Amino acid sequence: MEEKLNTIISEIGKLNNGQKEILSRADKMEHGQQELIGRTENLEKGVIELIGRTENLEQGQVELIGRTDNLEKGVTELIGRTENLEKGQKEIIGRTGNLEKGQMELITGQKQLSSRLENVEKGQDKLSSGQNEIKELIKHTATLEVLKEN
């Protein structure tokens, strides 16, 4: 019986050691569980922070889309204005061509006028010379009439 008792005591010792091992493992598991809870909380905080940052990125993206739309509208407006400037430039070039033609016509007209004025001056000189000749003839005629009467 003593042998049975020793066997039981030995088994109880083994059970006690097993229980200690189980308690140690349970403590380690509880510690691991607490560590996992802490890490999970950190992960949750990280996820919340990531959600906040993602929302900020989404808001930034929406703002960038709006600004890009404004830039595209501005580019379209600038293209339209540039086309208007090009049309205006072509019109100015055409008008400048017309002004140059008009200027050439004025120069030609001025030359013709100058030539005609020279002809008028020559005609006036001839007229003046003719008038002087007529005056001389009138004087001669008057002198001849005076001589005839005498």
CA distances from 50 to 47, 56, 57, 69 (A): 5, 10, 10, 28
Task: Record the tokens describing residue 93, joined without a space.
Answer: 């070039």
C-alpha to C-alpha distance for 35 and 16, rounded to whole angstroms: 28
C-alpha to C-alpha distance for 19 and 26, rounded to whole angstroms: 10
C-alpha to C-alpha distance for 5 and 40, rounded to whole angstroms: 50
Q: How many other C-beta atoms lie within 10 A of the C-beta of residue 84?
A: 10
C-alpha to C-alpha distance for 50 and 56, rounded to whole angstroms: 10
State the DSSP code for 1. -
Q: Which helix (H) or strand (E) holds 76?
A: helix 2-149
C-alpha to C-alpha distance for 114 and 108, rounded to whole angstroms: 10
Tell me the CA end-to-end span of the chain in Å, nearest whole number: 213
C-alpha to C-alpha distance for 88 and 81, rounded to whole angstroms: 10
| pLDDT values of the chain reduced to their tens digit, one per residue, 150 residues | 889 989 999 999 999 999 999 999 999 999 999 999 999 999 999 999 999 999 999 999 999 999 999 999 999 999 999 999 999 999 999 999 999 999 999 999 999 999 999 999 999 999 999 999 999 999 999 888 888 886
Can you give the pTM of this predicted structure?
0.48
